[in-house]
Amino acid sequence: MRPPSSLGPGRAVPSGRLNRMLRFGGMAAGVAGAALGEGARQMAGGKRPSLSDVLLTPATALRVTDELARLRGAAMKMGQLLSMDAGEMLPPELADILARLRAEARPMPPAQLEAALNRRWGRGWEANFARFDREPMAAASIGQVHRAVTTDGHELAIKVQYPGVARSIDSDLDNVSGLLKLSGALPKSLEIEPLLTEAKRQLHEEADYVREAAQMARFAALVADDARFVTPEPYAPLLRADVLPMTLLQGRPIETLASADQAVRDEVVARLLELTLRELFEFGLMQTDPNFANYLHAPDGRIVLLDFGATREIAPLTAEAYRGLLRAGLSGDREATIAAAMRVGFFDERLVERQGAVVNDIFDLTMAPLRQAGPFDFGDPSVVRALRERGMAFAEDRDVWKAPPPDLMFVQRKLGGMYLLAARLKARVDVRALMSAYA
């Protein structure tokens, strides 16, 4: 979620299905009109433009970004996920649309907030509080967070869901999928329906705050033996399906540790990597949203874990497949590692046949932390740069794109997010030692 200093003025969230459908329709019509104009302009200049040439323009990018940000909910959430997970594989203009969504969350205006709380808590709800800050602490794609103190002294962070978000998930994602297909950014051979179905399921779960409260308590029990972490506790008396009150925990945003001492950065990243491994191999339960805003560094040095809406169970077969990949990587056997990666579901034989040299390069790069004795320097920009270059080679060969298994998609989202955080903090961690314990 975005901090208060960058939230900007409130913007009403379109809540009715018809209202949201009309906005998508208006956006599509506006994009189509802009495309016709751009196509005519290019043809007048002697060019024969492709569909993506006329759809993916800076003006169109701004139009789509602004409208998805206004809609919030699943439309904005899906854009944010794609910008994190697939931004390097999409055309630059479309990647720009999606990347902008990470910074476009706006809070509800006060009247819409008041109506939402009246509906869930009843009129006169203010009597429950000695203090309720109507200016939100943070805002994101699905809801915004307010600070409050109850009359009996509980300091709370209260997450309030935007109106209509849960009801609009399926239609929003269908509309976003339609826009992606229209853009020509996705190859016709790519079957995105299984991913779309899984994304809908995941977002329905994230929009269920009663479920999130239960997952929060469940996760707290799993890390209770580790004093290095702390989680909030749900405040049951005011819990509703779309209002989640929890204990307020203080801390600085995790990414601000980039200016901290090297030892602090190394320790924090090592803790989070170890926790991720425990989630995968011990808990069978993983918080799969690696958004940096979901982690705080408390004044006492503990790591605050936030936002459990994306928590999902990991199938034992998935965990064992990753364990096999881990063992192969630690052994340094490239062929065994690639075979293990195929069993997990990263790619298939077609990709190895067509891009064998690139596959070898990528696995040499990704397995480097496992093969290195002693600390691996995540701050080395050459590794990320090389991975991006090799990844673009895959992206350009659109005939071999395939949808990953859903479990793999969410686990990789978490692992990739941890790598990005480690790179952001320029941490140095003995990855081989951490992972050897789980091989």
Query: Cβ distance 157 to 246 under 8 Å?
Result: yes
Q: CA 111, CA 27: separation in Å to the nearest integer?
A: 26
| Residue 427, SS3 per DSSP | coil
| Contact residues for 110 (Cβ-Cβ < 8 A; gap 6+) | 10, 134
Query: Cβ distance 429 to 306 under 8 Å?
Result: no
For the record, the structure tokens of 276 come out as: 């991720």
294 C-beta neighbours (distance < 10 Å), count: 18
| Residue 280, SS3 per DSSP | helix
Query: Cβ distance 74 to 161 under 8 Å?
Result: no
Alpha-helical runs (H) found in 102-163: 110-121
Q: Is 299 exposed, middle or buried (0-12, 13-18, 19+ CB in 10 A)?
A: exposed
| Residue 303, SS3 per DSSP | strand
Beta strands 229-230; 155-161: pairing state: unpaired
Q: CA 328, CA 322: separation in Å to the nearest integer?
A: 10
Beta strands 155-161; 243-247: pairing state: antiparallel
Among 172, 242, 266, 289, the one annotated catalytic: 289
Which one-letter DSSP state was computed for residue 279?
Answer: I
| Reduced DSSP (H G I as helix, E B as strand, rest coil) percent helix, strand, coil of the chain, to 5 | 60, 10, 30
Verify whether residue 333 is a known catalytic residue: no
Residue with the two structure tokens 């990709």: 351
**Catalytic residue list:** 289
